[in-house]
Structure 1
């Protein structure tokens, strides 16, 4: 049996990670992509998918414009997750469906702000669907990051930020460079940042990390252990984690002497609740999060169900 989410009767795969005749790709993180015979996605996502998977045939979905595919009217809406990320709004004579993929409400330095739309059925990722995950205001988090980075500089340290190669690295880069802090990027991160710029998302003063830190520059690396000697010439390194999981005491406990900044590209608990209320669906289908979120929605009067 081919497991995954599909729009019927057209059988368009929704972020299915196995090759399909038709597959909608909400964004280019590897747990959402495949070499479909025809991939439906935004232009930035198409560029990023080709970088990661090679040549993939795509049908571009400009944000906000409807297209007809396999008997369905589909509209890509900004998801606010990473650059090019999109929800898909499907219209059929039997009703309307909004599939969010990974999303986040509110402003972003690199992603288009999410746009929700009323629908009969909502299929929603709920990664942070526990009340514990209520993130501080974005401005507060950014100020926290900047203060800790500047304090590290004053101590003569090289700030090293651990961030996902695609998405978070570019978001943090733009936040820092917009405040006059130049960035050095791991080669894998730099390659993706070049695609961002080519697709029209400018990131400011960044360059590839050439093997030695530069005073006054932040270094951004993929999320892996920072072993001794990984930054030759750096006398003092301070490591930063930028993730919504910074609110999880267990995760912080794995590296208690490092800086944890709760900057997320996923909707937190309150944003998830807000999304359901704004879309106003007959039924909510939840995935990729705690099953307790379904019970939370039911307690608020919603018809909510869990998708395995």
Structure 2
């Protein structure tokens, strides 16, 4: 039996022919990184390769690393193996990794979203023989409303809070989702501020030309009267902290794909739950897989067993593999870093 082009090891997804890893979770010599969230871009690798728009994010998060950035659809050779990056639509610089050797093509999706995004390049399907897909939301229950619907809900919640004399704190991952909201929200409703973790990423997005506007950093020294009628974008970890409690009376909202499920809002003790995710929903996953033309599907992080069973029912050759990627989790702090 021939060695597969990519294999799952205790360090991550490995290409034996090319001698490189994709999003490894243990230190390696040669790492290709799909995007800047902490569960996919870890410290300790000798050499990093990523999309050029992710370079600043990785340097901000990981410090002084040896890193190269390339554009979408640009091909590099690694020990005779062709590697190229293609838009994943997840966050700024997010990429799928296409790997080709001796006529065989695999694609590693990383995290991806098939809908539109004002601050990321839209997802593009990659034709391949084997597709490694995430399935964070790989159940039929997950069907996203339109972005316009969700933003309207957030804006109405904010207006209601203004009338009630409350500060609005909307929690969203500091890297990606926060900037997506800021790019779409109606800034004429009132002042908009950013938690320090969000502000740091905003600056990277603005430098790369993917976000405009002024969303000042707010800290405990900010006078409370300055925040009258304000919306503050903050990571979920800020809720319940001394930082958040300073702004009472307040109303807390959360933007997450998990808000689709009953009870999620209650468990997180938030007043407003808004269904907004940077991952593909059920329809998006199925459409993306179909458009790859792949016969072999490997399901990672999410509802892997249920989703692979579904794909096998459709006629694919689907299996699941365990990884240390966490996707979008209500309890996960990886993407806030």
TM-score, scaled to structure 1: 0.93
Structure 2 distance, partners of 1:233, 1:124, is 42
Query: What are the Cα deviations for residues 68-87 of structure 1, in whole angstroms up to 9, with x where unaligned?
Result: 22212111111111111111
Q: Is contact 2:256–2:277 with CA below 8 Å preserved after alignment?
A: yes
Structure 2 distance, partners of 1:104, 1:111, is 10
Look up the SS of the partner of 1:13 in the other structure: strand
Q: Is contact 1:176–1:182 with CA below 8 Å preserved after alignment?
A: no
Structure 1 distance, partners of 2:66, 2:190, is 38
Which residue of the other structure, out of 134, 140, 144, is the alignment partner of 2:149? 140
TM-score, scaled to structure 2: 0.85
Look up the SS of the partner of 2:21 in the other structure: strand
Look up the SS of the partner of 2:76 in the other structure: strand
Structure 1 distance, partners of 2:89, 2:211, is 17
Q: What's the RMSD between the two structures over aligned residues?
A: 2.0
Q: Which residue of 2 aligns with 1:266?
A: 279
Residue 4 in structure 1 maps to residue 12 in structure 2: yes
Query: What are the Cα deviations for residues 4-34 of structure 1, in whole angstroms up to 9, with x where unaligned?
Result: 2112311321111222111111111111113
1:106 CA displacement? 1.6
1:178 CA displacement? 5.8
Structure 1 distance, partners of 2:152, 2:279, is 19
Look up the SS of the partner of 1:253 in the other structure: helix
**Cα gap change, 1:257 to 1:98, in 2 (>3 Å):** closer
1:116 CA displacement? 0.9
Larger mean CA deviation between 295-304 and 214-223 belongs to 214-223
Residue 14 in structure 1 maps to residue 19 in structure 2: no
Q: Which residue of 2 aligns with 1:240?
A: 253
Which residue of the other structure, out of 105, 117, 122, is the alignment partner of 1:113? 122
Q: Which residue of 2 aligns with 1:282?
A: 295
**Cα gap change, 1:28 to 1:250, in 2 (>3 Å):** same
Q: Which runs of 5+ in 1 are unaligned?
A: none
Q: Which residue of 1 aligns with 2:328?
A: none
Look up the SS of the partner of 2:182 in the other structure: helix
1:181 CA displacement? 4.9
Larger mean CA deviation between 98-107 and 225-234 belongs to 225-234
**Cα gap change, 1:258 to 1:106, in 2 (>3 Å):** same
